[in-house]
Structure 1
Amino acid sequence: MNFRFLKIPVYIDPTYWIFLLFVVSTLNAFNRAGVLLAVIITFSLLTHEYGHALTARFFGAQPYIVLRAFGGFAYFNESVVAEKQRFFITLAGPMLQGLLVLIAYILIRLDVFNDYYIRFVLHAALYINTTWILLNLIPIVPFDGGGLVRYLLERKFGRKGYRASIIIGIVSAAIAIPYLLFNGYYLFFVIELLIAGFRYCKLWQEEWMN
């Protein structure tokens, strides 16, 4: 499934639908609520990636978005953007998604909707996007938090900042992995953190050897 919105191409891989079906099945939500959850997840994911893509387009890159199993990705021509611009591109994803959290929170607080399903959508959007943002800001690549922390530390402290970002990533993975595992978060988050943690350990080993 492919489409273009706001002049940005979006490609949805078949594996994304399988992934979405898996998520809904783990919640035993093969009903109207399950369909709404699938819509909320997809809309939230697209909002996040559009934050990256629209900012990349603003800086002159040519972005496109891909949704596949385990998430979405906003690709763009990195050679035409500076490091500082890449920082803002990374930051824009969680910020635009944070706008969804704010809108859902305000509408819930105003309590203007009596319909059960509208209230369900608002509460689900608030929970999903808040959790998503917090997980995505874990300071280890490939999460956005890892790129943001690395940029800030390198800009301030150079090589020492880069090494500090590696240590922060390793410590963050060591804390987050057991927390997510024992609190019942989806296993793919844990697996992604494990892979990232091993990658950071290898980076630290390379830095120590140099």
Structure 2
Amino acid sequence: MIIIPGPIPIAIHPFFWLFAALVGWLYGQSVTGMLIWMGIIFFSVLIHEFGHALTAVFFRQKAKIQLVAFGGLTSYDGGPVLKFWQQFIIVLNGPLFGFGLCLFSFLLLKTPLPPMGIAIFKASFIANFFWSAVNLLPVLPLDGGQLLRIALEGFFGVKGFRAILLIGALLAGLIACASFVFGYFIAGAFFFLFGFQSFDSWRKARLATGDDRGPENNALMLQAEKALQEGR
């Protein structure tokens, strides 16, 4: 594992590179293409996570970034208890940074570039637009699911938490079925997993009370999500 120290420490797990290489090979179809896509994936995921991390630091949290098997994970603690609107902004700024990188790539494509530059920034534009848009779907653990969870839980408490689990499970199931029908098997597998996890969590959360969603249990939930993304 690669550790980059600093005000916002960054840990890069080996499986991140393996996943990036797999995706890079699927889209690049050559060693050079794979390396280009690996660079785009690394930079795009890092910018996305910095959107979360820098906002958390702004709210006086201690943030750290991990690049894990299927993307990135930003965790933060050590500061004052965050209000729901602060949590919402922290989550929202990840996709917003991604759309910002998408816009930057688009603007560069309007300038004179060599063929390699056109290929790189076109891929960056497509990757960041697609991932940022998909990431806003209201399915946990995607950012869109987290945003809806924060909003519903802020207004309705534990009932809102149960609602987003059920909404996410149903939507993920529909997306998984559509993905399989149209031949997008990797996307279908991911959304099937998301849907199963949300449904299982909803089933277990039916008897949850307000105390079960307190700060201590929220911290445990974040630890569990981190372990899941790391494949442990």
Shorter-chain TM-score tier: 0.7 to 0.9
- 2:13 alignment partner in structure 1: 13
1:20: how far off? 1.8
**What SS does structure 2 have at the residue aligned with 1:104?**
helix
Query: Which residue identity is paired with 1:120?
Result: A
**Is the 8 Å Cα contact of residues 136 and 145 (structure 2) preserved in structure 1?**
yes
- Superposed CA deviations along residues 136-182 of structure 1, whole A, max 9, x for unmatched, are 11212111111101111233344443343233212211221123334
Cα RMSD (Å): 2.3
| SS of residue in 2 equivalent to 1:75 | strand
For 1:77 and 1:92, the matched residues in 2 are separated by 18
1:104 is aligned to: 105
- Where in structure 2 are the equivalents of 1:24-39 lying within 5 Å? 24-27=24-27, 29-39=29-39
What is the letter of the counterpart of residue 165 of structure 2? Answer: I
2:62 maps to amino acid: Q
**TM-score of the superposed pair, with normalisation by structure 2:** 0.79
Which deviates more from structure 2 when the two are superposed, residues 158-167 or residues 142-151?
158-167
State the one-letter code of the partner of 1:193.
F
Determine the C-alpha separation between the residues in 2 that align with 1:107 and 1:186: 33
The equivalences for 1:106-185 within 5 A come to: 106-108=107-109, 111-185=110-184
| Contact 2:141–2:194 (Cα < 8 Å) also in 1 | yes
CA drift at 1:93: 0.5
Percent of pairs with identical residues: 32
Amino acid at match of 1:204: W
Look up the match of 2:93: 92
1:79-107 Cα offsets, whole Å, 9 max, x none, are 73413222111111001111011112223
Change in Cα spacing, 1:71 to 1:184, as seen in structure 2 (3 Å) is farther
- Counterpart of 2:229 in structure 1 is none
Shift in alpha-carbon separation, 1:197–1:29, aligned structure 2, 3 A: same
Q: 1:194 aligns with which of 189, 192, 195?
A: 192
C-alpha separation in 2, matches of 1:185 and 1:13: 26
Corresponding residue number in structure 1 for 2:40 = 40
Q: State the distance in 2 between where 1:78 and 1:88 align.
A: 18
Amino acid at match of 2:31: N
Separation in 1, partners of 2:28, 2:89? 38
* Deviation for aligned residue 1:186: 6.2
Deviation of 1:196 (Å): 2.4
Gaps of 5+ in 2: 209-232
How far the C-alpha of 1:71 sits from its partner, in A, is 1.1
Structure 1 residues 114 and 205, CA gap change in structure 2 (3 angstroms): closer
Determine the structure 1 residue equivalent to 2:219: none
Change (3 A) 1:171 1:54: same
Q: Which runs of 5+ in 1 are unaligned?
A: none
